Amino acid sequence: MYSPPIELIKGEELPTSGRQGLDVAGECEGLKFEDLFDYDFADFKIYIDDDWATAEMDAGSFVNGSKSSVVRENLDGLFDGLSGGNNSWISTDERDAVRAIGPTCIGAMDTRIGIKEGVPHRGAPDWNNLSFVADGIGLDEVDLVPENHPEERTCQNLNAANGCKEVPVSISDDLQIMMFLADGESNNVRFDQLPNSGNSNFTLGLNVTNMSYAHLELNFPLKQGLRMANYSIQDTLTAADGTVTVTENTALTGPEALYLPDGRLRVNQVVTYAASEYPIQRDLFIDFTTMAPDTNEAPEWTSNAPEDGTVIPMLDGVNQVVSGQKTSTWATDDSGWGMDCTFAENGWSSTLDGDGNLNVQVQNSQATSSNAECYVTDPFGATTIDSRNWTFGQVFTSSAILSESGESIEFTLTPTGLVSEMAISAHAHQASAMGQMRTTTLAANAATLSLPLDGLSPGMVMVMGQAESSSMLNLDFMLNFGLQKASLPPLITVKKNLDAQNATWDASGFSFTLEGDVLDPDGEDVTLSLLICGYETNDFNRASGSGWDIDVNIVSCSSQNPPVTSYDVTITATDESGSVTTISVFVPDPYGTTDNTQITDSDSNEITEEGLPSVSMLSTLSVTLLGAVLVGRQRKD
C-alpha cells in the first residue's frame, strides 16, 4: 500500500507502449484514481459494512479548465490501438466505452487504504489493504464530450457508431466524473475481515499523495464505544542516494470525528497536495479504539425537548414521526448522543437514524397509541439522569375525494381522541405549486376542508398541511390519496377583421392571414396546428400573451377538382396534458362566386329602374371574371 507512488507526472500520457489490444485491467493496474482523473476537487465517501470485510465507496470529482484536457487525453489514450482511440479526439463512442469498461479499470487500481489491528501503526507494515470490486462499481460523467460544442465534428474513424460525435481532447470545458455503487450490488470495495470486527484497537492508513484537494468521509458500522484516539500525517521523502526522511506534517488540519444520531462514528478529513510537493509521499494514519475515554460527561436534555406528557403525533403507515432537524435540539453531549425509549405496548420500538430522524416501528400490535419512557445515551453508555415520558400515536384519520366539479379536494379528518382539540391547516399541493390554504378546528367530530385546485397543473395532487395543539408536537403532513387534477382543454378564438371576415387576404390572392387568441385554463403551454385541404402546418406566430397569427397558403388546394372557391380551415390547440380543442373556420375566396342580390325570378332579363344590367348579365360577367382569375393563378403557379 505504501510503496512510492507511480512515476506518473501530472499531464503526461498514460503508458501505452507495446499494446496489442485493449487490456483494460493491465493498463490500469497499480494506478490511482488521480492518475486517470486529475481533478480540482473530489469528494470521497466510504461506508464500511457491518461485516467489517466489505465497503461502499462513492466518489465525485470536478475537473476544470486545463485539467479537463488532461483527463480527456488520458481517457483517449486508454483506447490506443483501437479505431478512433488515442487520436487526440474524444468521442461519444469512447465516452460510452468509458462508462462500460471504466469499472474494470478502476477495479484494477489501488484504493490506497489499509487497516491493521493492534497498537497504533505507522510506516509500511503488512497492511490489510482495501481493494476495488469491479462488478460493484458504477461510473458516469458529465460533459466529457459536451453537446453542440463549437469544435464538435462527426467521428472520422472507421466503425464509428451512427451519430458519433467527437471533440478535440484539448478543449478545456469543465467536466465531472462520478463513481458509485452499481445497481443491484451490495459493495464495491472489500478487504480481509478484521478478526476483532472493530472491537479493539486498529489503525486506518490512507496514502493521500497527489490528492490535490479532496474531502474524505469515513463511516463506520455501529460499534459501542468506538472512537478516534489519535492521528498522524507523515511526509516521506526518498533521496537519490536512498536516504529516507519522514517528517510529521503539522501544517495540515487533522481529522474530525463526530457521532451520528444512530450511534455510528463518522470521520471527516480534508487533504491537499500541491504539484510542487512531488515526489513526497503523504500518508494519513488514524488510530481507533473502543476503550472508554478517561473522562466522559453524561448527556443532558435541553429546554427544547418535549415536556413529560407531550403527545408525539404519528401518521398511519409512516414510521418517521419527528425530523432530525427538531430532535437535534433536544439534548447535548460532547461525544454525540442517541435515544433509548421503552414502550408500554408490545411490538412498539423506536430508533434515531443517521440523520437524527425519530422513527417508530409498530409490529403485531392493534394499539393505535402507546406511552414511552425515553433516555438520552452517549456512545460510551452514559445516560441522562432523568427520563421523559411521552405518548406516541395517531391523532386523526383522514380521507379525500375530488369534488363533483373537479375544482377542489374534499379533505375529511376524523379525530382519534388522543388530543382533545387541534387546529388544522391544509392545502392542495404539487411540487411546483400550492393551492389556497384552508383551516378548521378539529375536536370531537369529523370536519371537512374544501381545498381549491386553482393554480395547480393537471396531474397528481397531494394534501399538505399541519396540525397544532398545546398538548402535542406540531404534526406536518403530506398525504397522497391518489388524486389527479383533470386537464381543462384550451380556449381558442379567431378574430374578425375590419370587414367582419375571419381572414384577411393577401393582394396576390394566394394566401390569407388568420389572427386570434389561445389560453389554457390550467396555465399550461399550448401548441397550435392548422389543417387546410389535407395539408397541416404549425407555422404560427405567437406573440407575448395569448395572441397568435398565421399566414395560410392555398397552393395545396389548387389541385382540388372541382376548383375550391371557399376554404374550411381546422385549427387544433393541444396543451401539455394532451387535452385538445378543435375549431373550424370558414374562409370564402374573394375571387369566387358571390351573390348577395335578392332574386325573385332567376330567368328575368329585365333592366332595373337604375338602368343596371339584369341578373343574368351579372352572372355571366362574374363567371367570365372568375375564369380570368383562375387562368392568371395557373400561369403564376
Could you tell me the residue ranges of all domains in the chain? Answer: 34-289, 300-394, 396-485, 491-588
Length of the chain: 637
Ramachandran category for residue 278: left, alpha or beta (phi over 0 → left; psi -120 to 50 → alpha): beta
Beta carbons within 10 angstroms of residue 534's beta carbon: 9
Collapsing DSSP to helix, strand or coil, 200 comes out as coil
Measuring CA to CA, how many Å separate 354 from each of 262, 315, 530? 5, 21, 58
- Cβ neighbours for 182, distance < 8 A, ≥ 6 positions apart: 103, 135, 136, 137, 138, 188
CA pair distance 563, 609, nearest whole angstrom: 36
Dihedral sign, CA of 239, 241, 242, 248?
Answer: negative
Q: Is the pLDDT of residue 523 over 90?
A: no
Beta carbons within 10 angstroms of residue 105's beta carbon: 23
CA pair distance 312, 513, nearest whole angstrom: 67
CA pair distance 104, 29, nearest whole angstrom: 10
For β-strands 137-142 and 227-238, DSSP reports them as unpaired
Which class for 465: exposed (0-12), middle (13-18), buried (19 or more C-beta within 10 A)? buried
**Chain segment 214-263, per-residue pLDDT in tens:** 999 999 998 888 999 999 999 999 998 989 999 999 998 999 999 998 88
Which pLDDT score is estimated for 11?
34
Measuring CA to CA, how many Å separate 554 from each of 451, 536, 542? 50, 12, 21
Q: Is the pLDDT of residue 620 over 70?
A: no
CATH architecture of 491-588: Sandwich (2.60)
Which class for 17: exposed (0-12), middle (13-18), buried (19 or more C-beta within 10 A)? exposed
Task: Report pTM.
Answer: 0.68
Element (H or E) spanning 618, and its range? helix 615-636
CA pair distance 580, 573, nearest whole angstrom: 6
**Chain segment 355-385, per-residue pLDDT in tens:** 999 999 999 888 999 999 999 998 888 899 9
**Chain segment 70-121, per-residue pLDDT in tens:** 889 988 887 877 878 889 999 999 999 888 888 998 999 989 999 999 888 9
Which pLDDT score is estimated for 24?
73
CA pair distance 594, 135, nearest whole angstrom: 80
CA pair distance 342, 355, nearest whole angstrom: 21
Measuring CA to CA, how many Å separate 449 from each of 100, 316, 322, 434, 619? 54, 20, 25, 15, 71
Sheet holding 358-362, edge to edge: 320-322, 358-362, 348-352
For the stretch 273-276, contacts whose Cβ atoms lie closer than 8 Å and that sit 24 or more positions apart, written own/partner, are 273/208, 273/209, 273/210, 273/211, 273/212, 274/212, 275/10, 275/212
Which class for 577: exposed (0-12), middle (13-18), buried (19 or more C-beta within 10 A)? middle
Between vectors from CA 351 to CA 467 and to CA 479, what angle results, nearest 5°? 30
How many separate helices (H) and strands (E) can be counted in the chain?
A: 6, 43
Dihedral sign, CA of 363, 365, 367, 372?
Answer: negative
Which pLDDT score is estimated for 193?
87
Mean pLDDT within 136-152: 93
Binning pLDDT at 50, 70 and 90, where does residue 34 land?
confident
Which pLDDT score is estimated for 481?
95
Binning pLDDT at 50, 70 and 90, where does residue 607 land?
very low
Do 272 and 212 touch, CB atoms closer than 8 A? yes
Q: Is the pLDDT of residue 612 over 60?
A: no
Name the percent of the chain lying above pLDDT 70.
89
Q: Where are the beta strands (DSSP E) in 70-121?
A: 89-91, 110-117
Nearest CA to 306 out of 477, 476, 474 is that of 474
CATH architecture of 396-485: Sandwich (2.60)
Q: 300-394 and 396-485 share one CATH topology? A: yes
Binning pLDDT at 50, 70 and 90, where does residue 592 land?
low
Q: Is the pLDDT of residue 472 over 50?
A: yes
Q: What is the mean pLDDT of the chain?
A: 85
Which pLDDT score is estimated for 8?
30
Class of domain 300-394: mainly beta
Element (H or E) spanning 314, and its range? strand 311-314
Which class for 130: exposed (0-12), middle (13-18), buried (19 or more C-beta within 10 A)? buried
CA pair distance 555, 563, nearest whole angstrom: 12
